[in-house]
Amino acid sequence: MEIDLKNKVAIVTGAARGIGRAIALRLAKERANVVVADINTEGAVKVAEEIKTLGCQSLPIKVDVVNEDQVNQMVQATLSKFKRINLLVNNAGAVIVKPVIELTEKEWDAVIDVNLKGTFLCSKAIAKVMIKQKSGKIINISSTAGKSGNVFFVSYNAAKAGILGFTQGLAKELAPYKINVNAVCPGIVGTKMWDYVDEEIGKRTNVPRGRTLQRHVEEIPLGRIETPEDVAGVVAFLASTDADYMTGQAINVSGGRTMQ
């Protein structure tokens, strides 16, 4: 299957590292021009430079996805440079590993805001552009944790499950405008986030560092940890014309660990 996103304009949030970086680079390899949006300016600039070496245009933008003014400024900056927006990947996320009885209201709000509110604000702003264009694709990065709850992840579980409901509702709402809305649900991905998760769960369950991650990987039928590039490949497919008849879906990318 050949994916060709030549001259398409994509915004990827949380693109300075990890899954977001892999998505931004994969879209550029498929010849899309990419807006690298992240609260980490230095990281966004580095990824934007990587994209330019692939022969595509890129625009690094500092944005806090929970700030509506900054989100709107991101959209306007993109339109000023590229005149259109064909694809939004809502990837920005955050996790806090704590038992519910220790989780503060502020911590709960922080996780819900970045993951769920950020997805809402970015989708809202960019849907206005796509409705006028009568075309576009929105891809939300959820998680298998949104389908099957995990201990010490209650706020993250709730946020990622919320993204799935949001995806389905928005897909129906935007379908008349030929806009596709889908979600991707990664599993155990080898990123700094999972290093943090492994360490925090290890402290609370009194197991050596690395054991929690190892135990989860042992549950994966395909026998290896997931890479950010595994996620990026599915995003690239959803961004392509081959996925034009898919909307409202939540696709697992978990090596078989989650099958529902």
Tell me which of 156, 177, 196, 245 is the catalytic residue: 156
Do residues 166 and 122 lie in contact, with contact meaning Cβ atoms separated by under 8 Å? no
- Within a domain: 259: no
Q: Which residues contact 259 (CB under 8 A, 6 or more apart)?
A: 252
Give CA–CA dist 205/97, Å, rounded: 12
Are 10 and 36 contacting, i.e. CB atoms less than 8 angstroms apart?
Answer: no
pLDDT score for 7: 93
CATH number at residue 55: 3.40.50.720
Residue 32 counted as domain residue: yes
210 in any annotated domain: no
**Residue 204 belongs to a domain:** no
Overall size of the chain counted in residues: 260
Q: Are 62 and 69 in contact (CB under 8 A)?
A: no
Residues of the chain scoring pLDDT < 50:
none
Task: Give the per-residue pLDDT at 23.
Answer: 98
Question: How many other C-beta atoms can be found within 10 angstroms of the C-beta atom of residue 161?
Answer: 18
Which pair of tokens denotes residue 144? 């298998």
Residue 80 lies in a domain: yes
- Whole-prediction pTM value? 0.96
In the DSSP assignment, the letter for residue 88 is E
pLDDT score recorded for residue 1: 63
Per-residue confidence (pLDDT) for residue 15, from 0 to 100: 98
Contact call for residues 232 and 213 (beta carbons, < 8 A): no
Q: Which domain holds residue 244?
A: 9-187+228-253
> What ranges in 100-180 are assigned the alpha helix state H?
105-112, 118-133, 154-174
On whether residue 150 sits in a domain, the answer given is: yes
What pLDDT score does 195 carry? 87
Residue 89 lies in a domain: yes
How many C-alpha atoms does 89 have within 13 Å on its Cβ side?
Answer: 35
Distance between CA atoms of 28 and 20, rounded to whole angstroms?
Answer: 12
Q: Annotated catalytic, 156? A: yes
Contact 22, 233 (CB under 8 A): no
Angle between helices 118-133 and 154-174 (to 10 degrees): 10
Q: What is the DSSP string of 51-70?
A: HHHTT--EEEEE--TT-HHH
Q: Is residue 93 part of a domain?
A: yes
> What total of structural domains would you count in the chain?
1
